[in-house]
Chains A and B, each alone.
Chain A
C-alpha cells in the first residue's frame, strides 16, 4: 500500500484494541447517504518508476528555451549549496516552529533572515516572509490603513508603473475592506511617475503612496521626491523593491528625508527557481514603530530557563491563532522553505556578490538593448535610466513576433498590449547575469530574421 506501513496482523491487533470489527466500522457515525463507494474519476496508482517516467517526459516536453522574460520573476544563478542545504529533511519536512525548543534551527535561520532583510531594505524589522510579492503588497496596503492613524480615508495612491498583477492582487485582497485605489499615470517619455501626477492630491487625506523601485518598466523612480511629497500629506510610503537591485540602490529606509514606512517585494531572485510562478516568498520590513501592525510571523531572541540565548516566535498576539477575528491578517502558513533559500543565498553571495549580480545584470540588459535596437523596426520606448529590464517598441504586433521566437526556442519578452495598450506594440525584456554575449547575439539574430520574414510576408 503506498506510504501505509500496516501489515494485516497489525490491523487486526489495532482493531481488537479499539473493539471494532473492521476499519469500515470506524466510519459508522457518518450518514450512509453521504458515503462514496469508489473514486472512478481518479486514475489507478503508479509506481515511482512509472510516475518519474511520466514527469521526465513532461518536463522534457516543455523544453528549456532561452528566456528573456522578467516582469516580476528573474532567472539568476542559484549556487548548488542553496537547495542541497534547504532540502535536508530537517528543514524540508519540519512544521512551523511553534515548539521553540524543537525548532531552534528554523528559528535561528529566520532571525538571521530578518537581520539580512532589514539591513538590505534599510529598515529596523522584518517578518519571516509572506506568500509572494503581490500578496505582500496587498498586506502592506492593509497594514498602512491600520498604521496611519491620522488618515481616515483608506485611500491608496497606486502608480500604473507598479506591476499590473500586483495592482490586481492588492485590489482583490484589500478591496473587500473598503480600501480605495487611485491610479497615478506615468510620464510617457521617461517611463516613471512624475511628481506632477501627484500634485492634484496635495492637501487631501491619503493613507499611503506605493512606490516601485525599479518600476514595472525597469525604470528608476524619483524616490526621494515622491517620498517627501507623500510624507508632507501625512501619507505613509510603501516601497515595492527588487532585492537584487538593493545591492546597488539606495535602500527605502533612506528615501527622502524620513524614509519609506513599509517595504515589500518578491524574494524569488534570491535563490528561488522560476518554477512557473512559485513557490517564491514575499518579504516585508518596516520600522519598529509599526511592528505591531505587521502581519506574519516574527522571531525574537530571548533567553531560556538557564539564561542561555535562544529564539522563539514573538508578538504572536497579532496573529490569527491568538487574536482570531481581530488579527492583523489571516496568514498562517507562509513560505518558510523559500525564505531559507533566500537566507542561504544571501549568506553565499554577501554584499559584494549581490552587487556583482546586480551590476552584471544591468550590463547585460544594456548589451541586449544595444543589440536589439540596432535592428530596423525596434526602438526603446523610455529614455529614463533603469535596472535590468527595458521596454522596446516593435513596428508590428508583438504576439506574432513572440510566437515565432518561441518556435525558435527563445522566450523573447512580455507583451505589454493587454496592460499598457497606449504604448502600441511593445514588449518588456530582461537579461540577467545568466545571459552571455552569445545568447544575446542569437536573440538579435532570431529577432532580425523574424521581423524580416514578417515584413516580406
Chain B
C-alpha cells in the first residue's frame, strides 16, 4: 500500500482542535441509560495529516481532470468549473431545504427554468427534479407507469419488457416496483426483434424500458413501430436516458412517443461523477403520466413567484422519493451548464459526441479491431469485440482494458453489454479533441502489437499503477471490510 490508512496516523491526544467548537460547560447532558460508554474508532490526527493523506489518496485516482475516460454508457465529459463555483455560492449552500419560499426565490427560479429547459430538450410535458440518481429516476418512471394502470383499474399489468442488452438497472428497477422483467431479443442488426416484441406484449404488459440509441451503440431505427406495438397493446414506453447525450438536440424522446424518461444529469448535463455520485435523475412524462409525478415540483404563479407543489396539487402522485427536494446542488450545476450551452450548444453536444465516436470507431477498425456492428452508424458510443484477439493470442477484453491504464487512459466499459463476447464499449464524448482521440488510437495500436508479440505483457497488466491486479475472489471470501487495528 502506497499510503497508510488514516487510522495509522493516529496518536492519542492529537487533534485538529482549531476545527472543533468550544467544549460545552458540564459536557453532554444525556440520561445515563442512553449514554455512549466507549468512544468510536475515529483517528486522532492533525489538520495537516488529514489534508496530506487525502491529497495523496486523490493522486492514486484516475479522473476526467487527469485522464481521457472513454467509459461507454457513462458519458464522462468535462465538468466545467463555473458550474461548481456557482453551486457553492453561500446563498445556495446555506439555504435550508425547509426554509420559506421567500428566502428561496432565486434558487427556485433556477429550478423552474431547469424544469422548463429539460422539457424543451426532451419533448416531454412535465418534469420533476427530485429523483437522486439514474436508477432512482427509473424507479420513479416505472412506479408512475404502475400507478397509471392501477388508476385505470388495470392492475394486472405487472410485466416490464426489457431488451436483452438493457442496463442492469432496468430489470432491477422492475423488481423494485413489484414487476416482473421480461426480456425480448435483439436482432443481428442491433435493433429490437419486432416479432419477439409482438409476442411479448399482452394483457399483462405494463410497459417497455428502452434506451435509444441502445446499449449496443446504435439507433433503434424502428422506434415508431416499437411504440405502436406497445401502445396498441395497452403498455407505456419508458426511456432510459443514459444515452441521451447521443441525440441531444437532434431527436427528442417525447417525439419518439415515450411516456416517461429519466435524465442522468451527471452524464448528459455534465455534473461531476464524484467517484460514484452524487447524480441526479430528473424525470419527464407525457400528458397521461402527469398526475403521477413524484413530489415536490416547482411552479410559477401568475404573479411571478415560485412555490413548491405538494400532495394537494397532485393527489395521485407516486409520492415522495427523497428526504427533501432532490440533489439541489447537482441540479444547480446542471442548470449552469445548460445556460452556458444554450440552444445551439445543446444541439452541438449530440453532433460532436457522434462525430467523435464515429471517428474513433473508423480509426480503430482501420487498425484491425472488429466493431460489433460494422454495418451500422455508431451513435455516441460503439462496441468493439475482441473475440479474435482472445482466440488468436489469448488476450481478453480485460487485459486490453488493464493495459490501457498503463498507457494513461481510463479503460472503456468492459463485458457490457453481455450479449457481445469480449467487448469494449467506448464513448469518447464531445469534449475530447481529435488529438486526444489520436493518442488513444496510438495506444490501441501499441496494444495490438503487444498482443501479437508479447501477450503476457497484456495478461499481467497493469504494470505501472499503485497496485497490480487485485484478488477479487479473496476479497469476497475473506471479507475485510473495516480496519480493526494492527492485530485485526
Contact = CB atoms under 8 A, between A and B. Distances in A.
B325 A347 contact: no
B97 interface: yes
B85 interface: yes
A309 B1 contact: yes
A180 to B, nearest CB: 13
> Taking each of B15, B62, B88, B481, which has the highest tally of chain A beta carbons within 10 Å of its own beta carbon?
B481
Contacts of B255: 34, 36
B42 A351 contact: yes
Contacts of A63: 91, 103
Interface in A5-36: 5-6, 10-11, 13-15, 17-20, 23, 26-31, 33-36
A71 B471 CA distance: 44
B104 A51 contact: no
**Chain B interface bracket (under 10, 10 to 19, 20 to 34, 35 or more):** 35 or more
Interface string B313-330: 000001111111111111
Interface string A44-69: 11111001101111111111110101
Given A38-B347, A224-B33, A251-B40, 13 more contacts: A41-B116, A55-B336, A60-B106, A81-B51, A89-B66, A112-B6, A131-B133, A176-B146, A279-B328, A334-B278, A337-B272, A353-B20, A360-B23
A169 B480 contact: no
Interface string A274-318: 111111110000001001000001111111111011111011010
25 contacts: A2-B342, A3-B77, A14-B359, A17-B362, A55-B86, A89-B65, A96-B277, A102-B61, A102-B67, A115-B482, A118-B482, A119-B482, A176-B146, A177-B176, A274-B93, A276-B96, A279-B132, A299-B481, A308-B1, A330-B176, A352-B20, A353-B16, A357-B20, A360-B21, A362-B30
A421 interface: no
B477 to A, nearest CB: 9
A96 B62 CA distance: 11
A331 interface: yes
A343 B58 CA distance: 13
B63 A91 contact: yes
A45 B345 contact: yes
Given A36-B251, A62-B92, A303-B474, A326 B175 contact: yes
Contacts of B318: 172
A30 B251 contact: yes
B321 A322 contact: no
B60 interface: yes
Contact of A60 (B91, B110, B340): B91
Interface stretch (A201-209, A371-379, A399-407, A445-453): A399-407
Contacts of B64: 89, 93-94
B238 to A, nearest CB: 13
B169 A332 contact: yes
Interface string B267-286: 00010111111110000000
A319 to B, nearest CB: 8
Contact of B43 (A17, A278, A347): A347
Contacts of A223: 34
Nearest to B482: A115
A355 interface: yes
Given A89-B66, A277-B97, A96 B42 contact: no
Interface in A107-123: 108-109, 111-112, 114-116, 118-120
B468 interface: yes
A233 interface: no
Contact of A128 (B59, B77, B104, B276): B276
B323 A310 contact: no
Contacts of A95: 69, 71, 74, 76, 273, 275-276, 410
Contact of B481 (A77, A94, A300): A300
Interface in B125-144: 132-136, 138-139, 143
Contacts of A304: 467-471
A169 B34 CA distance: 28
B470 A3 contact: no
A247 interface: yes
> Taking each of B56, B60, B468, which has the highest tally of chain A beta carbons within 10 Å of its own beta carbon?
B60
B393 interface: no
Interface stretch (A132-140, A182-190, A389-397): A132-140
A61 to B, nearest CB: 4
A129 interface: yes
B98 A6 contact: no
B135 A332 contact: yes
A26 B430 CA distance: 14
A279 B278 contact: yes
Interface SS of chain B: loop
A310 to B, nearest CB: 4
Nearest to A13: B434
A177 B1 CA distance: 44
Contacts of B391: none
B483 A101 contact: no
A134 B136 CA distance: 13
B276 A334 contact: yes
Contact of A90 (B66, B134, B377, B411): B66
B480 to A, nearest CB: 4
A120 to B, nearest CB: 5
Contacts, number: 703
A403 B100 contact: yes
B79 A92 contact: yes
A333 B343 contact: no
B29 A273 contact: no
A249 B277 contact: no
> Taking each of A4, A99, A133, A343, which has the highest tally of chain B beta carbons within 10 Å of its own beta carbon?
A4
Contact of B31 (A90, A332, A385): A385
A168 interface: yes
A158 to B, nearest CB: 15
A250 B35 contact: yes
Contacts of A60: 91, 106
Contacts of A200: none
Interface in B166-183: 167-169, 171-178, 180-181
A102 B176 contact: no
A-B pairs, top 8 by smallest CB distance, nearest first, are A45-B342, A277-B324, A89-B65, A59-B91, A337-B274, A336-B276, A58-B106, A277-B97
A29 to B, nearest CB: 5
A220 B51 CA distance: 36
Given A59-B92, A119-B41, A249-B30, A169 B322 contact: yes
B37 A250 contact: yes
A61 B90 CA distance: 11
A300 B351 CA distance: 41
Contacts of B109: 58
A114 B482 contact: yes
A84 B481 CA distance: 27
Nearest to B160: A325
B405 interface: yes
> Taking each of A39, A41, A112, A433, which has the highest tally of chain B beta carbons within 10 Å of its own beta carbon?
A39
A266 B175 CA distance: 25
A426 B241 CA distance: 43
B381 to A, nearest CB: 13
Interface in A385-443: 385, 402-403, 406-407, 411, 414, 433
Contacts of A359: 23-24, 27-29
Given A132-B322, A312-B475, A314-B475, A112 B5 contact: yes
Contacts of A100: 467, 470
Contacts of B266: 333
Interface stretch (B197-205, B228-236, B447-455, B458-466): B458-466
Contacts of B136: 131, 135, 331
Given A31-B224, A248-B28, A109 B71 contact: no
A325 B181 contact: yes
A171 interface: yes
Given A100-B470, A111-B483, A65 B99 contact: yes
